[in-house]
Structures are given as structure tokens and as C-alpha cells.
Amino acid sequence: MLKIILLSLLLLPNIAMAGETRSVNFAAFQIVDKNFEFEAIVEGKFSDFITEMEGSQILALVHTAGAIDGDIITMQTSVLRDHHGSLNDFGMDCQLNFKDESDEDDTSYLLGGVCRIIQVGNGKNLKTVLIIPHTHIPDTAQGFEGWFMLAEDEATGIAFYANVSLEH
């Protein structure tokens, strides 16, 4: 009986860790100040992140609570406009795969996928497919608050950032 109690006590932290859920935050920004450059890592909480992004504008933000291994996270935004009888289309469509490769000793999360960026109209005819390789993103429970750039498309001035945080 003592062995069962000791084994249970050893496994209890792992069971508790497995029950913790994470939020995946995914954001897209576009440069508006030609002197602004995106940073690969932006340290701090969400408010710090937004402050550091001065010189760009936020295009979209997705907060996915309770993310689990294998989730597909989507972010879509588009503006369709009739401009003198011609259709303008400005937007993006992203699908990202969230992978939880955590084990009993450490948390490990990956995020990757594809984003399509469309800027058609007003003299533009840009249709870009941006492949985002699976990128390791530490979570805030590991002691680092920050946002990580997943990809940047220099032609459109759009960058994609992510953050994984422990839900409270």
C-alpha cells in the first residue's frame, strides 16, 4: 500500500501538469512607418508588446483558449470594396497547426502553417503564400513573457507573431 501511495505522489505533479491548458495568441501587424523594423522577439506582457509595435498597425489578433495538441487555429480578415466598378480585395487567411510536444519534464509547443496575403486593387495585384515553418514557442509558465515572430513578408510589410500562455 505504501508503494502505491508513493507512486501516486510521484505522478501527481505530472497529472497536474497535463491538466493545465494553454492559450495560443496569434497576431498580424503591418508596417506604417518606413523606419520601423520588426523584432524577432518582443519581451513583455501584451501591453508591452503593443507598445513596442509602434510604427506598425495591428491587422488581426486571435486568442485561442484551451488549445490542445493538433488544433488548427485560423485567422481570416478581408475587405472587399467596389472601387469605380472594380473589385478591390485586401486581406489575409491563415491556418496554423498547434503541436504540444511536452513531456513530464518540460513544456514544448510548436506553431506553423500557411498564410495567404491578398492585396488586389488600387494599382496592386499581390497574392502571396507565406509558409510558416513549425516554430518552437516557449510558454509564459517557463518564466519568459514574450512574443515571437513566426514570419515576415517584406513585400507587404506584414509580420506574424505568437505567444503561448498558461491559462489562469
User: Taking the C-alpha atoms of 97, 102, 107 and 108 in order, what is their torsion angle to the nearest 10 degrees?
Assistant: -40
Across 83-95, average pLDDT: 87
Boundaries of domain holding 149? 2-166
Domain total of the chain: 1
pLDDT of residue 112: 97
> 29 with 75: CB under 8 angstroms?
no
Nearest-angstrom CA–CA distance, 67 and 73: 9
Q: What is the pTM for the complete model shown?
A: 0.82
pLDDT of residue 139: 84
Across 19-41, average pLDDT: 91
pLDDT-above-90 percentage for the chain: 62
51-83, pLDDT tens digit by residue? 999 999 999 999 999 999 999 999 999 888 887
> 30 with 57: CB under 8 angstroms?
yes
